[in-house]
Amino acid sequence: MNILKACLLLLIIGLFGGGLFVYSGVYNIGADVPHFPPVFAVLETFRDRSIAAHAQGVTAPPLDDPALIAEGGEHYAAMCSGCHLAPGKKNSEIRAGLYPQPPNLTEHVHTDAAEAFWVIKHGVKMTAMPAWGTTHDDQAIWGLVAFLQKLPGLSAEQYEHLAGRAAGHGHHHGTAQGNDDDEQQQGDHDAAYEAPATAPQLD
């Protein structure tokens, strides 16, 4: 009984201390101060396990259709390369300041196809990874997954060829809820955040 009481007391002190820590504001939430390694390790496991569990019911369609890959490439250049880079694009101002830093998807994709699909569709909380399923249908997201499987092997020229169509005239949406205004807006955003790194090539 005494042990039980002691445990209860510890629990209350712990909860109170936790509350005080949260409310006091001593924690530095700034993106330019990394987590302590053990905290980072826990968060990583938390994310990886969540993605693995949630992607379990997802089955990938055939991903080698050239039209699907090309559509993904076009979308990638317009929506993803600012954060995840591209052949010939070594860094970007937005990526440099993000924490956690978006992985360089020209090197390798850590997730399998089903997990990549889930991450792209739903995004990742408390990171900069958006939920693209809000504005894109599953077909468009599989296109991105298909393109990601090819991306690490692409030269800058091959990338330009596959993704180049996005540079001239924005990108076509398989939107869940898009309309022309949306597309216009999306194009503007892409141009705005790509501008620092790629301004000379944009016209």
Cα–Cα distances in angstroms (integers) from residue 151 to residues 88, 114, 199, in the given order:
12, 17, 22
In the complex, what is the shortest distance from the CB of residue 101 to ligand HEC, in angstroms, rounded to a whole number? 7
Q: 128 CB contacts (<8 Å, ≥6 apart)?
A: 83, 98, 102
Provide the Cα torsion 184, 136, 178, 187; round to 10°: 0
In the complex, what is the shortest distance from the CB of residue 141 to ligand HEC, in angstroms, rounded to a whole number? 8
- Lookup result for tokens 């958006």: 130
Q: Tell me the CB-side half-sphere exposure of residue 134, using CA atoms within 13 A.
A: 7
Q: Which is nearer to ligand HEC, 9 or 199 (CB)?
A: 199
In the complex, what is the shortest distance from the CB of residue 147 to ligand HEC, in angstroms, rounded to a whole number? 8
Q: Which is nearer to ligand HEC, 23 or 79 (CB)?
A: 79
Q: Which is nearer to ligand HEC, 160 or 186 (CB)?
A: 186
Q: Which is nearer to ligand HEC, 14 or 164 (CB)?
A: 164
Q: Which is nearer to ligand HEC, 9 or 41 (CB)?
A: 41
Of the candidates 50, 62, 174, 71, which has an alpha carbon nearest to the alpha carbon of residue 115? 50
In the complex, what is the shortest distance from the CB of residue 19 to ligand HEC, in angstroms, rounded to a whole number? 27
Q: Is 158 exposed, middle or buried (0-12, 13-18, 19+ CB in 10 A)?
A: middle
Distance from C-alpha of 124 to C-alpha of 21, rounded to nearest angstrom = 25
In the complex, what is the shortest distance from the CB of residue 192 to ligand HEC, in angstroms, rounded to a whole number? 12
In the complex, what is the shortest distance from the CB of residue 105 to ligand HEC, in angstroms, rounded to a whole number? 6
R_g of the chain, CA atoms, integer Å: 21
Q: Which is nearer to ligand HEC, 12 or 199 (CB)?
A: 199
Site residues for ligand HEC per CB under 6 A = 47, 79-80, 82-84, 98, 100, 102-103, 109-111, 116, 119-120, 124, 127-130, 132, 144
